Structure 1
Amino acid sequence: MHVDLTAKTAVITGSSSGIGLAIATELARSGARVVLTGRDARRLGEAGDRLRESVPGADVSALAVDLADEDGAGELHVTFPEPDILVNNLGVFGARPALEISDDEWRTYFETNVLSAVRLIRTYLPGMTGRGWGRIVNIASDSALVIPQEMIHYGVSKTALLAVSRGFAKEAAGTGVTVNSVIAGPTHTPGVESFVREMVGGELPWEEAQRAFMREHRPQSLLQRLIEPEEIAHLVVYLSSPQASATTGAALRVDGGYVDSIVP
């Protein structure tokens, strides 16, 4: 399948590394102009350089902004007012015993993982529907369906994101705009690599640590390895394409078979 996103502009939140940068790279490879966002200007600059090395001639912009608050969302909107594609990838995660999660931590996870997406959808959806075309993709997690004991707050925030996606898909019904979620499984990113070492110890070589983590903490995985960010990005590119015009309100899994379900 050839996906051509020439003349489309895509905003990808949380895209200075990991899944977000992989998504931006693959969208650029399909011809889209991509907008990287993150809080650290230096990291964003480095990410832009890596993307241009991977996709020569790519049209890449970046904005250092905190999208976990209303001011950040407003600044993004002023700077990039009319994207065709919005990928809400921004998120935080970390292990914490359930009874030790404070109210402030719950608020932080909700603001970052849920409300950041709600604000941007609320900001950009009217323009997309007015133009009669748009794609919104929210990056959820297997933890939305299989709540991990070691990070309940993260799982709950991603469950909420699935509901956000379904609800806004109904709001966009019949407009030419689609809204979908991607349920990403355990993925090899810098943050997850640190998390894996936290869970299994830092002494093991990486390949051995990865296998131990999957065996001990994610034994449901049929892939039996961490997913690479590019594998998540491929599904996002499809959902961002004209070819995905009949897919909306859906939660699509790219989880390596982690979620034990026979329905998507």
Structure 2
Amino acid sequence: MVPSMSKLTTVSRPSPRKPSGARDSGTADNLPGAQRASGVDGRRSGDASAVERAERPTIRIAHLPRGEQMGLDLTGRRAVVSGASAGIGAETVRVLAEHGADVAFCARTADAVEDLAAALARTQGNVHGYVADMADADAIAAFCDTVEAEIGAPDILVNNVGASPSRNFLHMSDDDWFALFELNVMAAVRLTRRFLPAMRAQQWGRVVMMNTAAAKYPGAAIVDYSATKGALAVATKALARKYAADGVLINSIAPGRIRTEMWERTAREVAEAKGHGDVEAVFTERSKDIPLGRFGRSDEIANVVLFLCSDLATYVSGATIDVDGGLGSYVY
């Protein structure tokens, strides 16, 4: 049975292997709207403070794994990823955890959280799954309370949650508009507002807003989606300019056509409507105007998230990075 989405539920699985010195999750029994969970612990040694990270001895680069050679090691960093049930969100959790981050993620259903947590139980970093509805302000507050109690305030925030319904403008009610704005804009606003102070205090933080190419070349069938993402793009620019001096780098990614479950569903509907049922034919047709000739993969977006969250991206702030296979024809 799926828990009420007005509250937060955490999902826990025992770790198959946990080394000596690994940090145990804290407790959050007394938090309103939250139930305690120990998280899903993978293989990562104890947390490192900012001072400890700065005092690490110099190590010969040739002896490091490739990710560490490139400056992509996130060991000691804590990350939060919203809307991670599948697709880009799930891949982002995996990539960050594989590079050593302690990752808390959320999704709306317990099954989605359990499936991802189980799949990532043996990653390098610890993975903590939570059930929370990001369209609900109280659920967001409870999620933040629990994350801070169990793993601490995050250094990295990936605002991935969002929806992109396709519908006729003339049939969209005010409530339809408000509901999508709550999810696509206010979830990011609330999470960022909550976690930003701790990032500023430590003079290091990364916030990544998952945007869309549709914010730059919108279509009538997704006018509300494009409008909400346009608002998010403006917020990203303004916040990046405001908080860069505090060591908090805020950027966004604008994916093009990525072969996620959303597109799989759309392709099935189109194939059925055309009467041939050939999903691959739909993808082939929709790939013709993409210079790279194909849809993107979720991991190709997650890898850009990893870069922006790493110490390689120290001079990237307020940027919107297009990851669309060359589809965008605009200059600015």
The TM-score range, normalised by the shorter chain, is over 0.9
Flag the 1:3–1:73 CA change in 2: closer, same or farther, 3 A.
Answer: same
Q: How far apart, in 1, do the equivalents of 2:272 and 2:226 lie?
A: 23
Q: Residue in 1 aligned with 2:173? A: 102
2:128 maps to 1:61: yes
What SS does structure 2 have at the residue aligned with 1:47? helix
Q: Residue in 2 aligned with 1:80? A: 147
1:72 CA drift (Å)? 1.5
What SS does structure 1 have at the residue aligned with 2:287? helix
1:204 CA drift (Å)? 3.3
Q: Residue in 2 aligned with 1:153? A: 224
Provide the aligned C-alpha RMSD in A. 1.5
Deviations 1:173-227 (A, max 9, x none): 3111100000111111112210222234364333222112334xxx3x2123211
2:291 maps to 1:213: no
Q: Residue in 1 aligned with 2:307? A: 238
Q: How far apart, in 1, do the equivalents of 2:185 and 2:265 lie?
A: 23
Q: How far apart, in 2, do the equivalents of 1:106 and 1:160 lie?
A: 13
Q: Residue in 2 aligned with 1:252? A: 321
Q: How far apart, in 1, do the equivalents of 2:106 and 2:144 lie?
A: 12
Q: Residue in 2 aligned with 1:193? A: 264
Q: Residue in 2 aligned with 1:164? A: 235
1:12 CA drift (Å)? 0.4
Q: How far apart, in 2, do the equivalents of 1:168 and 1:142 lie?
A: 20
What SS does structure 2 have at the residue aligned with 1:91? coil
2:292 maps to 1:223: yes
Q: Which has the higher contact order (CA 8 A, sep 6+)?
A: 1
Deviations 1:24-61 (A, max 9, x none): 111111111111201111210101112236x3x44110
Say which one has the larger Rg. Answer: 2
Q: How far apart, in 2, do the equivalents of 1:35 and 1:108 lie?
A: 25
**Unmatched 5+ stretches in structure 1:** none
Q: How far apart, in 1, do the equivalents of 2:271 and 2:238 lie?
A: 38
Q: Residue in 1 aligned with 2:121? A: 52
What SS does structure 2 have at the residue aligned with 1:243? coil
Flag the 1:199–1:167 CA change in 2: closer, same or farther, 3 A.
Answer: farther
What SS does structure 2 have at the residue aligned with 1:37? strand
Q: How far apart, in 2, do the equivalents of 1:29 and 1:205 lie?
A: 36
Q: How far apart, in 2, do the equivalents of 1:213 and 1:95 lie?
A: 17
What SS does structure 2 have at the residue aligned with 1:104? helix
Which of 198, 202, 211 pairs up with 1:127? Answer: 198
2:207 maps to 1:140: no
Number of aligned residue pairs: give it.
257
What SS does structure 1 have at the residue aligned with 2:229? helix
1:149 CA drift (Å)? 2.0
2:245 maps to 1:174: yes
CA contact (8 A) 1:200 1:213 kept: no
Question: 2:155 is matched by which residue type in structure 1?
Answer: D
**Unmatched 5+ stretches in structure 2:** 1-69
Question: 1:152 is matched by which residue type in structure 2?
Answer: V
Higher helix share: 1
Question: 2:243 is matched by which residue type in structure 1?
Answer: A
Which range moves more in the overlay, 43-52 or 232-241?
Answer: 43-52
Which of 169, 179, 182 pairs up with 1:111? Answer: 182
Identity across the alignment (%): 34
Which range moves more in the overlay, 204-213 or 107-116?
Answer: 204-213
Normalised by the size of structure 1, how large is the TM-score?
0.93
Q: How far apart, in 2, do the equivalents of 1:98 and 1:214 lie?
A: 26
Normalised by the size of structure 2, how large is the TM-score?
0.74
Q: How far apart, in 2, do the equivalents of 1:199 and 1:108 lie?
A: 26
